[in-house]
């Protein structure tokens, strides 16, 4: 049963023995291997007032300090999940995990910050921001926001500026899929990219050709394929490759950096690799599910099993996941998200007669750190320092909050995990902390276990026990003009000077 609370999510002093400490204390982490993206060292870490005070060998302290023994273990920055959907109203329902349960799950899995997607309300960014600020009031973990752009006019353009300059948003997501709902066209994409560039905000895309997906869905329904496999068959990798290529080319045309979310296929990876080779600033984000799973389970005869794997872009045929791992290990892809968007089996059953009505999304916020460790580090594909980079540091850098986040350095926020490489985990809906009754990684075992999570200087996860306080999570403002924008102005100037002076033409007599 659930170690957090059998009756779902509880907090504070509760029947299941979860206690909530309200003030951050002083903590000394002794004897571990401290890992940053830039290197590792044997050192102690001293924490106070929610901040890392010192990182060096043999720290001696006199005052009241909680001492944690990390001998034989790795002390690393808490994970930052760049891609989540908590309390997301989508496809006629709302995700089961909200800003408390989703974050509690995250903390139990070693993630100490996430960036969620604000969805505008009737096209209003301001109303969307207010709605999400309200949803996030119960937060027990630090969080930031991206914002989706779902329509275009002068008001939206002005609101984007307000979001960046006053609300701490430095990234906007454009959906090239979900026709009739969130999808936008190329004209809007270009307008949006131009606006992002002028504000120093990062343009993000969900890259699938929405018009073709719509056509593919009709094709499947006409063929009588109404089950979950119809979802996968209606939106093949080539539609992801096409949209990825189009978004990359349009971002290149505007000369603004681009972030491709949930890269799921070889087709998309190849487009990103090609663009990066030419020097274009394109970031590719695989998600935990894309690395760990393939899409074969949507053919499972049991609807509940099949439907839990339905997400967009779909989990692909076996082989794509291996290619995504390789791309991550060679730097073609840079950081791992989850797209945590959890629906329970009752919600998934909205599409029992029609795959088009199955709410799209899989879990992962609690599992990501363990999966990436097991799949990428334990297998020998990446180093421990690269692990820190792809699960934490790169996200902090891209969204311009490094080294406050993403580092074990004096002055950084005390968001820290202790990972025991010799321990192991087994994933199950029985023991996870999400509110969902299913888990796409059900039964999966892996080496490496996050034994302690410290968030904002508090020990929130220890001995398989969560101690989380609603309202203790801070909203982290993300400043514009991160390092991806360095030199963009110079490239623009070079482009302009490369254009020939206007050609002089004379009217010729007829």
Which residues of this chain interact with ligand URP, rule CB under 6 A? 85, 206, 262, 311-312, 339, 341, 360-361
Query: Tokens 């869905």 label which residue?
Result: 217
- Quick one: 364 or 456, whose CB is closer to ligand URP? 364
From Zn ion, ligand URP, none, which one binds at residue 176 (CB under 5 to 8 Å depending on kind)? none
How far is Cα 472 from Cα 205, in angstroms, rounded to an integer? 31
| Least Å from the CB of residue 210 to Zn ion | 11
From Zn ion, ligand URP, none, which one binds at residue 5 (CB under 5 to 8 Å depending on kind)? Zn ion
Is residue 308 close enough to count as binding Zn ion by CB under 5 A? no
| Least Å from the CB of residue 340 to ligand URP | 9
Q: Under 8 Å CB-to-CB from 362, ≥6 apart: which residues?
A: 289, 308, 309, 311, 315, 339, 340, 341, 342, 440
From ligand URP, Zn ion, none, which one binds at residue 96 (CB under 5 to 8 Å depending on kind)? none
- Quick one: 85 or 467, whose CB is closer to ligand URP? 85
| Least Å from the CB of residue 341 to Zn ion | 6
From ligand URP, Zn ion, none, which one binds at residue 16 (CB under 5 to 8 Å depending on kind)? Zn ion
Is residue 6 close enough to count as binding Zn ion by CB under 5 A? yes
Q: Under 8 Å CB-to-CB from 96, ≥6 apart: which residues?
A: 342, 343, 344, 347, 434, 435, 436
- Pick the piece of the chain touching Zn ion (CB under 5 A) from 53-61, 162-170, 282-290, 332-340: 332-340
From Zn ion, ligand URP, none, which one binds at residue 311 (CB under 5 to 8 Å depending on kind)? ligand URP
- Residue among 284, 287, 285, 310 nearest 297 (CA): 310
Partner residues linked to 46 by β-bridges: 28, 54
DSSP 96-139: S--TTHHHHHHHHTTEEEEEEEEPPBTTBHHHHHHHHHHHGGG-
Residue choice 81, 339, 386, 413 for contact with Zn ion (CB under 5 A): 339
How far is Cα 50 from Cα 123, in angstroms, rounded to an integer? 38
| Least Å from the CB of residue 175 to ligand URP | 7
- Pick the piece of the chain touching Zn ion (CB under 5 A) from 182-190, 192-200, 205-213, 403-411: 205-213
How far is Cα 211 from Cα 203, in angstroms, rounded to an integer? 21
- Quick one: 24 or 230, whose CB is closer to ligand URP? 230
How far is Cα 255 from Cα 23, in angstroms, rounded to an integer? 46
Residue choice 206, 235, 281, 368 for contact with Zn ion (CB under 5 A): 206
- Quick one: 262 or 405, whose CB is closer to ligand URP? 262
How far is Cα 385 from Cα 393, in angstroms, rounded to an integer? 10
- Quick one: 70 or 261, whose CB is closer to Zn ion? 261
| Least Å from the CB of residue 22 to ligand URP | 34
Is residue 285 close enough to count as binding Zn ion by CB under 5 A? no
Crossing angle between the packed helical segments 266-277 and 237-254, to the nearest 10 degrees: 20
| Least Å from the CB of residue 114 to ligand URP | 13
CA 97 to mean position of chain CA atoms: 15
From Zn ion, ligand URP, none, which one binds at residue 65 (CB under 5 to 8 Å depending on kind)? none
| Least Å from the CB of residue 312 to Zn ion | 6
- Give residues 38-77 in contact with Zn ion (rule: CB under 5 A): none
DSSP 260-291: E-S--SHHHHHHHHHHHHTT--EEE--BHHHH
Angle value at C-alpha 376, between 100 and 367, nearest 5 degrees? 20
From ligand URP, Zn ion, none, which one binds at residue 360 (CB under 5 to 8 Å depending on kind)? ligand URP
From ligand URP, Zn ion, none, which one binds at residue 138 (CB under 5 to 8 Å depending on kind)? none
Q: Which residue is nearest to ligand URP (CB)?
A: 360
Q: Tell me if residue 178 falls in helix, strand or coil.
A: coil
- Quick one: 5 or 220, whose CB is closer to Zn ion? 5
From ligand URP, Zn ion, none, which one binds at residue 225 (CB under 5 to 8 Å depending on kind)? none
Q: Are 484 and 202 in contact (CB under 8 A)?
A: yes
Is the C-alpha dihedral spanning 54, 59, 61, 66 positive or negative? Answer: positive
Contact positions toward Zn ion, by CB under 5 A? 5-6, 16, 206, 339
């Amino acid at each position: 049963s659930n170690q957090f609370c059998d009756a779902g999510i509880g907090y504070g002093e509760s029947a299941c023995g979860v206690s909530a400490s309200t003030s951050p204390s002083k903590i000394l982490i002794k004897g571990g291997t401290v890992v940053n993206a830039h290197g590792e060292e044997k050192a102690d870490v001293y924490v106070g007032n929610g901040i890392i005070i010192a990182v060096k060998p043999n720290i001696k302290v006199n005052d009241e300090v909680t001492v944690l023994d990390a001998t034989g273990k790795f002390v690393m920055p808490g994970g930052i999940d760049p891609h989540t959907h908590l309390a997301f109203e989508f496809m006629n329902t709302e995700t089961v995990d909200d800003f408390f349960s989703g974050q509690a799950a995250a903390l139990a899995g070693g993630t100490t910050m996430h960036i969620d997607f604000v969805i505008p309300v009737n096209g209003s960014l301001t109303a969307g921001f207010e709605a999400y600020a309200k949803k996030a009031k119960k937060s027990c973990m630090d969080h930031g926001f991206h914002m989706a752009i779902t329509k275009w006019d002068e008001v939206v353009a002005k609101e984007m500026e307000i979001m960046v300059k006053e609300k701490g948003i430095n990234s906007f997501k454009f959906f090239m899929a979900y026709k009739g709902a969130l999808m936008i066209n190329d004209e809007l994409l270009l307008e949006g990219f131009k606006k992002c560039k002028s504000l120093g905000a990062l343009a993000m895309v969900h890259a699938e050709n929405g018009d073709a997906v719509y056509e593919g869905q009709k094709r499947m329904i006409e063929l009588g394929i109404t089950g979950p496999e119809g979802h996968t068959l209606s939106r093949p990798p080539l539609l992801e490759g096409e949209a990825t290529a189009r978004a990359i080319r349009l971002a290149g045309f505007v000369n603004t950096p681009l972030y491709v979310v949930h890269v799921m296929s070889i087709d998309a990876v190849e487009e990103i690799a090609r663009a990066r080779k030419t020097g274009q600033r394109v970031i590719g984000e695989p998600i935990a599910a894309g690395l760990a799973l393939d899409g074969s389970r949507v053919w499972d005869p049991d609807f509940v099993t099949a439907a839990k794997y339905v997400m967009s872009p779909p989990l692909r045929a076996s082989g794509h996941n291996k290619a995504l791992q390789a791309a991550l290990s060679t730097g073609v892809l840079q950081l791992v998200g989850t797209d945590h968007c959890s629906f329970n089996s009752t919600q998934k059953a909205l599409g029992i007669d029609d795959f088009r009505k199955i709410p799209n999304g899989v879990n992962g916020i609690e599992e990501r750190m363990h999966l990436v460790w097991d799949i990428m580090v334990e297998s020998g594909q990446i180093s421990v320092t690269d692990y820190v980079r792809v699960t934490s540091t790169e996200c902090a850098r891209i969204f311009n909050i490094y080294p406050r986040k993403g580092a074990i350095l004096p002055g950084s926020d005390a968001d820290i995990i202790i990972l025991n490489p010799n321990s192991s985990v087994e994933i199950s809906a029985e023991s996870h902390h999400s509110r969902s009754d299913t888990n796409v990684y059900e039964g999966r075992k892996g080496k490496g276990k996050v034994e302690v999570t410290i968030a904002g200087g508090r020990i929130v996860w220890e001995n398989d026990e969560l101690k989380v306080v609603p309202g203790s999570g801070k909203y982290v403002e993300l400043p514009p003009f991160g390092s991806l924008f360095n030199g963009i102005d110079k490239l623009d100037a070079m482009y302009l000077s490369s254009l020939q002076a206007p050609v002089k033409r004379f009217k010729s007599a007829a």
